[in-house]
Amino acid sequence: MKYCTTVIAVRDMEKSLQFYKDLFQQDVLVDFGKNKTLTCGLALQQGLEHIAGFDASTMKFRSNTMELYFETEDFDAFIQLLDSYPQVERLHEPKTFSWLQRGIHIFDPDGHLIEVSESMYSVACKQFESGKTIEKTAKLVQHPIEVVRGWYDQYQKELISVCGTDCSACYCFGKMCNGCIPVREKFFMHRKGKLVRFMTVLEIISVCKIVVNVAKCLVRYGLIPEIRSFQMKNLMKI
């Protein structure tokens, strides 16, 4: 036995498809006419009462007994997108739950309740970036410490030094450079292109010129990949 999908009843297939495409970037993965499966796995069914064999008058399109749950890595961008669709009904405005996750509840065209919240991983990363320990973060976000430890490991792997290289894979590390991670306490690290913290200008100039010059040399001779950091070029102009 295995769980396959969730099927929700819709009255106007085209209207529902447009809703899920506009707000959630969903396309039709499988098309059975009055039944369409979206790329996320959710299935929309028009005429569910005929298939299931119950009286259509018993259907309640706004029962508030279940919700569809979506997560986003950029909650602010979703709210900005949602603002451009004023016809979409909101149960409430964006709020922060007790576990520090921001979220909002809205209704689809048939009254199905939908929650959209920032991913718990991104919530945890904000705590890591502010210097919180794994134990403290687990308590704040109300998740098992094993889960939070896994998030922290992933977070560490996403940290890129200002020169654009991964210290653990860099030829210079431990030889010509002790790395900005242990020496500078991640002060000039960024995650997925998003700056975490800046060093002072003097610290950047005193440390980064050595790192960048060595990195450029190693790139030239093919010993490390092309420098990925977009920040380094701008910082060195200071």
| 72: CATH | 3.10.180.10
Question: Is 24 among the domain residues?
Answer: yes
What residues have CB less than 8 Å from 231, skipping those under 6 apart?
A: 162, 188, 190, 195
Could you tell me if 18 and 109 lie in one domain?
Answer: yes
Residue 106 is assigned to a structural domain of this protein? yes
What is the count of structural domains for the chain?
2
Domain boundary among the residues 83, 118, 153 is at 118
**Are residues 18 and 113 both part of a single domain?**
yes
For residues 108 and 169, state if they share a domain: no
Same domain, 169 and 99: no
Is residue 156 in some structural domain?
Answer: no
User: Can you spell out the DSSP letters for 161-207?
Assistant: ETTS--GGG-SSBTTTB--HHHHHTTTTEEETTEE--PPPHHHHHHH
Q: Are residues 13 and 113 in the same domain?
A: yes
**Residue indicated by tokens 């889960």:** 147
Report the pLDDT value the prediction gives residue 177, as an integer from 0 to 100. 60
Do 99 and 25 have their domain in common? yes
> Domain for residue 153, yes or no?
no
CB 218 within 8 A of CB 177: no
| Radius of gyration of the chain measured on its C-alpha atoms | 24
Assigned domain for 144 exists? no
Identify each DSSP E strand in the chain by its residue range: 7-10, 28-31, 35-38, 43-46, 67-72, 95-96, 102-107, 113-118, 159-161, 189-191, 194-195
pLDDT given at position 35:
96
Q: Per the domain annotation, does 28 fall within a domain?
A: yes
Residue 181 lies in a domain: yes
From first to last of the 238 residues of the chain, give the pLDDT tens digit.
999 999 999 999 999 999 999 999 999 999 999 999 999 999 999 999 988 998 888 888 898 899 999 999 999 999 999 999 999 999 999 999 999 999 999 999 999 999 999 999 999 999 988 888 999 999 999 999 999 999 998 887 776 555 555 666 666 666 666 555 444 343 344 444 454 444 443 444 444 545 555 445 444 444 444 434 434 444 344 3
- Pair (111, 182) in one structural domain: no
- Same domain flag for 167 and 112: no
pTM for this structure?
0.70
What is the H or E stretch that residue 50 is in? helix 48-52
Are 80 and 168 found together in one domain?
Answer: no
- Residue ranges making up the domain that contains 31: 7-118
Looking at the domain assignment, is residue 150 inside a domain?
A: no
Would you give the DSSP letter of residue 227?
A: P
Structural domain ending residue among the three candidates 118, 151, 186: 118
